[in-house]
Structure 1
């Protein structure tokens, strides 16, 4: 459906869309104006992640009005990272820009990113979201997660990094062809080791919609990210178990010395109950971590597609 423009593409802008249909016309207008002023071949790829809020209708309207706007609709909600995967897989540009749909990432910064990434001969240039427009609790949780994630994954990941970045085609192609359910685009590009840079930009106020990441979804995302990018999580129960064993040995020695010196020791079930609950919780946590890793293996072994496309506009059918 729609037209297909076969011109050379210098920049592909990929935007996963969820829960902000009101922002789509302004998003397309500002990106189009910015890219046209740059004088480059461009395409704007909008991926509908099935929010059920009318986003596809807004995307479809823009794509049918302008052949530079490419539209992809997924059959089901797959999450932001898999929506990005669908968009990046369809992109034909030498450089790929990703951003959120709510216009907290200003399209007007694309010329500066494009100039810097080429001038500095980088493969990846990632935006640090200065003065994030999130609540204090959200920022605190984000800082804690990224500190823990940085340690466990051995990646230096700043909590201010988001999806707003520009990357070379060779870096994004590697992302598309890598198997696995853990699809965080920014984390993956950092992991590749390609030459990278960072730039600080203002995080703008959300144009429309609200974040779909509830606390539960953030916890689930954090666990999946940490167990996908690193095996170091498996060592945590080992360390805790070793520390507990040493602590228990010290306590036993203390009890024996106290008994030998006829010093009264506290009696009752409190100590025993605390030990049972502690080690019981430790064992269950360890089993849970192992279960997550096994689940990740199971997801890959099933070889199901990461996403299924329902409809495409201005994108050629795959051969």
Structure 2
């Protein structure tokens, strides 16, 4: 951690891992804010790389990044073959980053680059993970704040590994933590849970969440719902286990009701059963069964995704800044199938 250059200044590289998807308008303001934030750190000896992961953007995001790269050779670009989602894009960035520490950060400026020096200061104090916690989320809608609060409470109630409240992906993680994350083989990835699962010494820095700088959020209500399901099913088996108790409770209730019916018949004779109560009972039990099958299907679908062993992401190319000798900046990845000749 305490690496010093010959002149006594810190000789450390920090990687900013920035997934982007259709963020053309946000690139320039983000780079301006980052440059302003890290200039004092660069002057004191820190080195930075800005690792952008283009997650299948359909607008001019990639072109804006290439243009910015001509002005700032610290920029590296990973161009994925299609849109794999933010979790996969972040995984690609962490796999490729070269820094002694990495900071995943969004390009919309809701994660303030001005906080980067403070994160690094706490890291130099000896912490391996420095969390950026949103102490004020008034920039978010009331519905988003309430649903987020409910998710964190529910997740931490039933999951074996708790995740910190109001902490997103914005944090600093040491190289040791990055290497630990690279050892986790999940295809269906919930990065907040994985960050918490690996552990390491952790501290927290509070900040006020700003309004989005430009563009629109890529997370609709439906995507957030599926994201919450991903988090719960990735780190808890309680939704499966609870149906044992639900089944036992229904069985006990059915036995009790059957006993009451038998006693009434013995003492008062046979009465005509009600059609309405019979229909309600059938629909209730049918609904319970379908709900249980649906929860089982959520887990089974995730098992199916894992056993196929498809890669989390596919890299089309890595785009590096041109060197002083004029080397081509495009490093293409050849993914064409190759023929194998059969031996005679």
The normalised TM-score by structure 1 is: 0.89
1:75 aligned residue (68, 81, 91):
81
Cα 1:92–1:264, aligned 2, differ >3 Å: closer, same or farther? same
Confirm whether residue 111 of structure 1 aligns to residue 117 of structure 2: yes
Confirm whether residue 21 of structure 1 aligns to residue 29 of structure 2: no
Cα shift at 1:45: 0.8
- Give, in whole Å, the separation in 2 of the partners of 1:261 and 1:136: 58
Question: Which residue of 2 is the match for residue 127 of structure 1?
Answer: 132
**Contact 1:46–1:71 (Cα < 8 Å) also in 2:** yes
Cα 1:53–1:275, aligned 2, differ >3 Å: closer, same or farther? farther
Cα 1:194–1:273, aligned 2, differ >3 Å: closer, same or farther? farther
- Give, in whole Å, the separation in 1 of the partners of 2:199 and 2:257: 47
**Contact 1:9–1:43 (Cα < 8 Å) also in 2:** no
- Give, in whole Å, the separation in 2 of the partners of 1:260 and 1:141: 53
Question: Which residue of 2 is the match for residue 62 of structure 1?
Answer: 68
- Give, in whole Å, the separation in 1 of the partners of 2:238 and 2:188: 16
For residues 81-121 of structure 1, the C-alpha deviation after alignment (integer angstroms, 9 at most, x for no partner) is 110011111111111101111100110111111111231x2
Aligned-residue CA RMSD in angstroms? 2.3
Where relative contact order (Cα < 8 A, 6+ residues apart) is larger, the structure is 1
Question: Which residue of 1 is the match for residue 181 of structure 2?
Answer: 175
Question: Which residue of 1 is the match for residue 341 of structure 2?
Answer: none
The normalised TM-score by structure 2 is: 0.83
Gaps of 5+ in 2: 1-10, 322-328, 334-344
Confirm whether residue 208 of structure 1 aligns to residue 214 of structure 2: yes
Question: Which residue of 1 is the match for residue 154 of structure 2?
Answer: 148
Cα shift at 1:62: 1.4
Question: Which residue of 1 is the match for residue 103 of structure 2?
Answer: 97
Q: What are the within-5 Å matches in structure 2 for residues 7-46 of structure 1?
A: 9-39=12-42, 40-46=46-52
2:142 aligned residue (110, 114, 136):
136
Comparing 289-298 with 256-265, greater Cα deviation is found at 256-265
Cα shift at 1:203: 0.2
Aligned length, in residue pairs:
310
Cα 1:251–1:158, aligned 2, differ >3 Å: closer, same or farther? farther
Gaps of 5+ in 1: 1-7
Comparing 172-181 with 65-74, greater Cα deviation is found at 172-181
